[in-house]
Structure 1
Amino acid sequence: SRQGVAGGMKVMTLPADSNGHVGAVNFYSYFNIFAWAGAFGQTGLLQVLFTDKNDKLVAGYGVSKGDMVGNKASMKCWVGGNSPREYASNDFISNNGEGNGAGSMNNTSFNERTGHSDFVKTGSQLEFYWKGSRIKAIIPELETVEIAKVYIYIGQYVQSNKFMTNLSLRNISYRKDKVSVWSNVPNRYAAGSVVEIDMENDKIFTNGVATNKDFVNGGKFFSIPPGESTIIINQSAFNHTPPQVELTWKENYL
């Protein structure tokens, strides 16, 4: 039999943009999820749901653990449109990422040290972050549908009395993309963002999420040549808070 779920929900309406409009056809949200069961058989459900202004589902991302015996949980994503449904599900062991024989199901995504996740809507294309890449769905009828609200739901399976020791949304932010007119444009990276550039492996991460799409055309990943080098770091003129910069490197003996 299917288990019922009971819990609580918070609803956030997107603020109006600088043009006074609420809603975004092209939308991005970063969020950090922590899912670590402290004992076998603990259960719970966490969802981040994106809807239009009439509360109709556009897409959702979440973690579900209905296993009342063991320690298996699932990352799930949902799509709306004409046929609202679960679109993808990926199992993992809800440990703290320490391994212990979990192999490919080790909780490398939602443990105490990680949790980085995101969702992107670009017209009819929906993208859900999972282990360094994005699960993509094309839902044609959502091409011009605007996301206007974010629902956060945390609940428990009613047949269980063992809620997960750790099941929480630690951080969430969102933005509207590809608007026709911008005014008072904020920095692309919110205060407190951590941007990591891995020159050795040609990778960029923002708050732990792979963001090579931010690479500037014509730019180059570089290594430090032998001898003395000077690295000059410039910030945009509109930014009045200098970034904290940390450089690390590996020495190679020639």
Structure 2
Amino acid sequence: MAWRVLSSNAARRFKGEVGAKNFYCWWRSYFVTGLMGQTGLQQVLLTDESDKLIAGYGMYKSDKVGNTAHVITWVPDGEFKDILFTPSVYVENPFRVNHGECDLLKEGSKLRFHYYGSYYSINVPEIENKKVTYIYVVLGDWGDSEKYMSIIRWVIFMLIKIMSRPIKIYQTGILRQRGGG
């Protein structure tokens, strides 16, 4: 899924201007395995008008034997944070049912990521004047696994603030993979 970001002025005047230098979005992810060894991934990626990465937030499980997953955040130069978690249905999983709150903020050159009650910030001077133009949501499997996550469910409610004017996007769905475990 992908969305193109209209500026608040464009939304009012429909002149086709796109992008926002200051940008905020919030969403809720559900990332739970049903069996040991299942794999999968979710990503939210923000890019500029040239489709170059500004920031990314994702979780993936490549562990084909156990139940270890990663939360990972990206900046234009590569990985910013990589945090391990257990994608079970229990309290140690921040992405279990009725949880999974994530947010991402761009204010000039500052990027801020939310994970499990904490914020992680970084200053990235090369993005200061870049506009967030596209939002990509990626859902899929990891590598050559034969045990796909039996249910990848996502609930994405993005509250996007562009130049102090909120725009709401609501998308929900369940992706079921049969025969993968």
**TM-score normalized by structure 2?**
0.83
Cα separation, 1, equivalents of 2:169 and 2:136:
24
Distance 1:191 1:31, change over 3 A: closer
Cα distance per residue 1:155-200 (max 9 Å; x no partner): 2123211111333331131423446xxxxx6xx69699xxxxxxxx
Q: Which of 82, 88, 92 matches 1:89? A: 82
Instruction: Report the Cα distance in structure 2 between the residues aligned to 1:150 and 1:115, rounded to whole angstroms.
Output: 19
- After superposition, the Cα gap between the structure-2 partners of 1:52 and 1:174, relative to the gap in structure 1 and judged at 3 Å, is farther
Distance 2:96 2:137 in 1: 19
Q: Distance in 1 between matches of 2:169 and 2:112?
A: 25
- 1:33 touches 1:167 (CA, 8 Å); kept in 2? no
Partners of 2:58 and 2:72 within 8 A in 1: yes
Q: Equivalent residue of 1:96, what SS? A: coil
- Listed one character per residue, the Cα deviations across residues 106-164 of structure 1 (whole Å, up to 9, x for unaligned) are 11x20012111110001111111011121111111111110010011112123211111
Relative contact order: is structure 1 or structure 2 higher (C-alpha 8 Å, sep ≥ 6)? 2
- Aligned partners of 1:137 and 1:35: how far apart in 2? 26
Please state if 1:13 is matched with 2:9. no
1:14 alignment partner AA? V
Matched, 1:31 2:36: no
2:112 matched residue in structure 1? 127
Query: What residue number does 2:177 align with?
Result: none
Kindly report structure 1 stretches of 4+ aligned residues shifted beyond 4 Å. Answer: 188-192
Structure 1 residues 123 and 170: alpha-carbon distance in aligned structure 2, compared to 1, 3 A threshold: same
Post-superposition offset of 1:52: 0.5
CA contact (8 A) 2:26 2:102 kept: yes
SS in structure 2 of the partner of residue 141 of structure 1: helix
Question: Relative to 1, partners in 2 of residues 1:191 and 1:166: Cα closer, same or farther, differing over 3 Å?
Answer: closer
Structure 1 stretches of 5 or more lacking a match? 1-9, 99-105, 180-184, 193-254
- For the Cα contact (< 8 Å) 1:45–1:62, is it kept in 2? yes
Q: How many residues align?
A: 165
- For 1:149, the aligned partner's letter is Y
* One-letter amino acid of the counterpart of residue 127, structure 1: R
Pair 1:141-2:131 in alignment? no
Q: Which amino acid aligns with 1:67?
A: D
Separation of aligned partners in 2, 1:123 and 1:78: 17
Counterpart among 167, 172, 179 of residue 157 in structure 2: 172
Q: Percent identity?
A: 33
Greater per-residue strand proportion: 2
2:69/2:85 contact within 8 Å kept:
yes
User: Unaligned 5+ residue runs, structure 2?
Assistant: 171-181
Higher Cα radius of gyration? 1
C-alpha separation in 2, matches of 1:176 and 1:58: 16
- Say yes or no: does 1:43 pair with 2:51: no
Deviations 1:211-237 (A, max 9, x none): xxxxxxxxxxxxxxxxxxxxxxxxxxx
Contact preservation (8 Å) 2:60, 2:142: no
Q: CA 1:53 to 1:169, structure 2 compared with 1: closer, same or farther past 3 Å?
A: farther
Query: Equivalents in 1 of 2:133, 2:161: separation in Å?
Result: 10
RMSD across aligned C-alpha pairs, in angstroms? 2.1
| Partners of 1:27 and 1:177 within 8 A in 2 | yes
